[in-house]
């Protein structure tokens, strides 16, 4: 059975972000996939890189027990889906901490022989999808505020560490969006979940 891992971090069960996560999970279940949801807030993940974690990074061995568990769960995934809100043009601290503690050498990627390149150790992963909510207009986010999800997260993290087939569903101006628009986004999230890899 194909496995989809969904990582999310919104603390409101009533948020649109949460609804997008549920829609993606439902899509994956409907298409017969095994779905594993990592809810960082509910699981009280500690996003901080402490001294031991930094030493672990240099030794290529994750130290945080919860991060090690997430790494194991990611290693079985065919599809990784991240669902989170954008606050101050960037991901929440919780999601940044997930990146810092889980995108780890010797665990989810390796450095190539010359020491500068990276290759993924997530050997089953076929695709990664990012689903975000924000209240910034799309053009402002992309052209004025640096487009950090595309450039720092997709290009500067996931592509750099060797992942392929990365897509991003950006739900912009959520607060003022129509019901019809929200329904369309939820349907897209369901389709993303249902995709076969």
Choose between 120 and 150: whose C-beta lies nearer to its own copies: 150
Choose between 99 and 171: whose C-beta lies nearer to its own copies: 99
Query: How many angstroms separate the CA atoms of 133 and 86, rounded?
Result: 6
SS3 label, residue 106: coil
The piece of 90-98, 119-127, 166-174, 186-194 that touches its own copies (CB under 8 A) is 90-98
Asked if 113 interacts with its own copies (CB under 8 A), we say no
Contact mark string toward its own copies, 130..169, x via CB under 8 A: ------x-------xxxxx-xxxx-xxx------------
Query: How many angstroms separate the CA atoms of 163 and 68, rounded?
Result: 19
Residue 59 main-chain phi, psi, to 5 deg: -90, 0
Residue whose entry in the numeric block shows the structure tokens 């912009």: 172
Choose between 34 and 46: whose C-beta lies nearer to its own copies: 46
Give alpha helix (H) positions in the chain.
16-30, 51-59, 65-75, 93-102, 138-139, 148, 179-194
Choose between 158 and 185: whose C-beta lies nearer to its own copies: 158
Who's near 147: CB < 8 A, 6+ residues apart? 141
* Selected binder of its own copies within 30, 43, 54, 124 (CB under 8 A): 54
Q: List interacting residues with its own copies (CB under 8 A).
A: 11-12, 41, 47-51, 54, 87-94, 96-97, 99-100, 103, 136, 144-148, 150-153, 155-157
């Amino acid at each position: 059975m194909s496995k989809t891992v969904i990582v999310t971090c919104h603390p409101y069960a009533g948020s649109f972000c949460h609804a997008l996560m549920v829609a993606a999970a439902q899509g994956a279940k409907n298409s017969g996939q095994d779905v594993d949801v990592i809810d960082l807030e509910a699981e009280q993940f500690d996003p901080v890189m402490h001294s031991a974690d930094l030493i672990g990074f240099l030794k290529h061995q994750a130290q945080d027990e919860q991060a090690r568990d997430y790494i194991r769960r990611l290693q079985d995934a065919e599809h990784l889906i991240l669902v989170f809100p954008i606050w101050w043009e960037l991901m929440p601290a919780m999601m940044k901490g997930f990146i810092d503690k889980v995108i780890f050498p010797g665990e989810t990627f390796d450095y190539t022989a010359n020491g500068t390149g990276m290759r993924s150790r997530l050997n089953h992963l076929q695709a990664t999808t990012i689903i975000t909510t924000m209240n910034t207009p799309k053009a402002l986010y992309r052209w004025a505020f640096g487009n950090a999800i595309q450039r720092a997260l997709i290009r500067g993290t996931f592509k750099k560490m060797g992942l392929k087939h990365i897509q991003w569903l950006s739900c912009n101006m959520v607060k003022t969006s129509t019901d019809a628009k929200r329904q369309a986004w939820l349907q897209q999230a369901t389709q993303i979940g249902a995709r076969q890899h």
